[in-house]
């Protein structure tokens, strides 16, 4: 790869996990690398619930990058976050393209996410342009964001208010 130039080997395709034709959501962004979020969860550095309460009227859009978690780890982490109320006020969730995802029980990345979150009845978009796998966008935690996903393409607009 040349510096600043991407040579893509696979087509980028955002997938609306619940098979919606078009997703349009707006809310306040929060998230990061799921591998790290699980380590911070419940520590004195975790002020997530205060953030959720402060911006509940905006609605929350979570984004998660997965670097090297197994499908089984993804299931456990998402259950832990869901069980602790982290998806309260959530309008939608974005997941990155996965760098590497192994499974001991042949559960795919997509199946792990879908089965863990389907009961939330919210839009979930996977294989988005965030995280460790290029091409990727920078996400601004705390920004109000409008996200559109349709026909494998997506767009994120940030408002710093």
10/94: higher pLDDT: 94
Task: List Cα–Cα distances, 20 to 24, 94, 132, in angstroms.
Answer: 10, 14, 26
Q: Is residue 11 part of a domain?
A: no
The per-residue pLDDT for 5 is: 65
The per-residue pLDDT for 1 is: 47
Structural domain total, the chain: 1
DSSP string of 114-137?
Answer: HHHHGGG-S-EEEEES-SSSSS--
The per-residue pLDDT for 11 is: 82
- Report the distance separating Cα 133 and Cα 108, nearest Å: 18
For residue 68, the SS3 value is: coil
Band of residue 37 on the pLDDT scale cut at 50, 70, 90: very high
Q: What is the mean pLDDT of residues 81-108?
A: 93
Q: Is residue 135 part of a domain?
A: yes
pTM value? 0.93
The per-residue pLDDT for 135 is: 83
The per-residue pLDDT for 8 is: 65
17 in Cβ contact with 124 (< 8 Å): yes
Q: Is residue 94 part of a domain?
A: yes
Percent of the chain residues past pLDDT 70, beyond the cut: 94
Which CATH number do you get for residue 36? 3.50.30.60
Q: Which domain holds residue 113?
A: 30-159
What b-and-e string marks burial along 49-73, b requiring 16 or more CB atoms within 10 Å of the CB? eeebeebeebbbbbbbbbbebbbeb
Q: Is residue 77 part of a domain?
A: yes
Q: Is residue 17 part of a domain?
A: no
User: Is the confidence at residue 142, as pLDDT, over 50?
Assistant: yes
Q: Is residue 7 part of a domain?
A: no
The per-residue pLDDT for 74 is: 97
Q: Is residue 20 part of a domain?
A: no
Q: Is residue 103 part of a domain?
A: yes
């Amino acid at each position: 790869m040349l510096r600043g130039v991407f040579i893509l080997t696979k087509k980028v395709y955002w997938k609306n996990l619940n098979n919606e034709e078009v997703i349009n959501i707006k809310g306040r962004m929060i998230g990061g690398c799921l591998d790290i979020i699980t380590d911070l969860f419940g520590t004195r550095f975790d002020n997530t619930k205060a953030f959720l309460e402060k911006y509940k009227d905006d609605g929350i859009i979570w984004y998660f990058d997965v670097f090297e978690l197994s499908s089984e780890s993804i299931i456990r982490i998402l259950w832990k976050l869901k069980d602790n109320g982290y998806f309260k006020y959530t309008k939608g969730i974005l997941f990155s393209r996965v760098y590497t995802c192994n499974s001991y029980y042949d559960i795919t990345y997509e199946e792990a996410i879908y089965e863990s979150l389907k009961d939330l009845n919210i839009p979930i978009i996977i294989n988005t342009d965030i995280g460790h796998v290029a091409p990727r966008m920078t996400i601004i935690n705390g920004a109000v964001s409008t996200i559109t996903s349709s026909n494998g393409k997506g767009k994120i607009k940030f408002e710093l208010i």
